[in-house]
Amino acid sequence: MRADLDAADLENVARRTYQVRTYGCQMNVHDSERLAGLLEDAGYEPAADGDVADVVVFNTCAVRENADNRLYGNLGHLAPVKAANPGMQIAVGGCLAQKDQGQIVERAPWVDVVFGTHNIGSLPVLLERARVEQQAQVEIMEALEVFPSTLPTKRDSAYAAWVSISVGCNNTCTFCIVPSLRGRERDRRPGEILAEIEALVADGVLEITLLGQNVNAYGVEFGDQRAFGRLLRACGEIDGLERVRFTSPHPRDFTGDVIDAMAQTPNVMPQLHMPLQSGSDRVLQAMRRSYRQDRYLRIIDDVRAAMPHAAITTDIIVGFPGESEEDFEQTIDVVRRARFAGAFTFQYSPRPGTQAATMAGQVPAEVVQARYERLVEVANEIAWQGNRGFVGQQVEVLIAQGEGRKDARTDRMSGRARDNRLVHVAIDPAQPARPGDVVTAEVTYAAPHHLVADRVIAVRRTRAGDRAEQPTAARPAVSLGMPGIRAR
């Protein structure tokens, strides 16, 4: 089997179309931007809506119980489509590919390429090798060789961008399979990160989100425990960068210098997503989460002391093995005390390969469902109370492309306030706004998960809004470092 392919081998991909289907976390969303950038760099074009793509790429997640069923169900639906379209190719990447590896081709032999989390840059070559050799290509690397941010990236948004500062995770949470699929934490050097952000801002980006599996552990690889706080402050020195966010931090590594950096850096947004997972110390210990209820609530108090108007959101798992009614009530108590602006709540599901999957005391599904419903009711009521406090206040909303127009009849468009609350804004046709523009508006209505602002005060048109008006193909991908493979 040939180990490589030259540019002449790749000319046949010219004008072939692609579609990337993404499942899972923000890291997967960003990886899909890289996959799209790689494919376009190799000569592929995005498939038009409703068209059958020549290449369909599944970027998978392995966190939830139904991830496997969802993937193989979708692959099954594509089998007759591929049979009716000679030359069509299907590729599977991401965490589920890293986990299942060769099993994917065994269960779905019509798949052409399987690649892992550490070698997304191989996709164009693997596709062409599968086409030339007429057999499936499975390439799973067990460790990262090149940091993926060196790959070309095709961003959907003209005004917002993800920036990976680390990949992998050194934690050993008993419910999580991600560390075994993404590997141990690898950190980028601050200069590389800031250079990427500066290039993005030069391209019109107003908002960046720093990404990492455990984002505030940044610096562990090169021995700097205060690296993350310093990175936030450095972002504050970049002209034209209006909003900085990050996700997801871990309470264990959340230190006072990070809180100070957030509070003292004007373009770091007053928003924090801090996973709780459980309010019970006993369950937290079984989860192998290295903090307890008191420590978590102290962080919340410290953040609010420094930033009184910060919106704090969280993740919570209901029904972890061994969770008693008393444990669950402790979680409810923490939710009431923390006053979260929003909570992403999950029913525990065992994942093969995790320690929790084999633990005794698996909670019956009907009990988990009942607790889940009670938790959602409490969390929604608290979020609604918080949102009602915004009625009559002015908010600054960055109009978002993905969230789009909420109601054509009322001409509302959607976006995010500085604290990341979703806001639907009534836009006056005489004073139009585009994705990437910034609107100041007065909140007129509050719901548990969004605000409505029907009284616009001002619209600030931005370079990002100008860029958003251009056709997607006219917006070049930002590429730093290693070039992709291009067919010409």
Q: Which of 113, 142, 171 is the last residue of a domain?
A: 142
- Give per-residue pLDDT as tens, 151-178: 788 888 889 999 999 988 999 999 988 7
The mean pLDDT value for 19-25 works out to: 88
Q: Is residue 246 part of a domain?
A: yes
Co-location of 57 and 161 in the same domain: no
**The two three-digit tokens of residue 328, written as one number:** 């669950």
Q: Is residue 248 part of a domain?
A: yes
Q: Establish whether the linkage from the previous residue to 248 is cis, with ω within 30° of 0.
A: yes
Q: Which of 327, 353, 388 is the last residue of a domain?
A: 388
- Which CATH number do you get for residue 160? 3.30.750.210
Co-location of 260 and 307 in the same domain: no
Co-location of 407 and 340 in the same domain: no
- Give per-residue pLDDT as tens, 357-377: 999 999 999 999 999 999 999
Co-location of 322 and 345 in the same domain: yes
Co-location of 54 and 138 in the same domain: yes
Q: What is the pTM of this model?
A: 0.85
Q: Is residue 245 part of a domain?
A: yes
- Give per-residue pLDDT as tens, 300-331: 999 999 999 999 999 999 999 999 999 999 99
Co-location of 300 and 379 in the same domain: yes
Co-location of 248 and 371 in the same domain: no
- Give per-residue pLDDT as tens, 411-466: 799 999 999 999 999 988 888 899 999 999 999 999 999 999 999 999 999 999 98
Q: Is residue 150 part of a domain?
A: no
Co-location of 168 and 117 in the same domain: no
- Which CATH number do you get for residue 423? 2.40.50
When divided into structural domains, the chain yields a total of 4
Domain that holds residue 84: 7-142
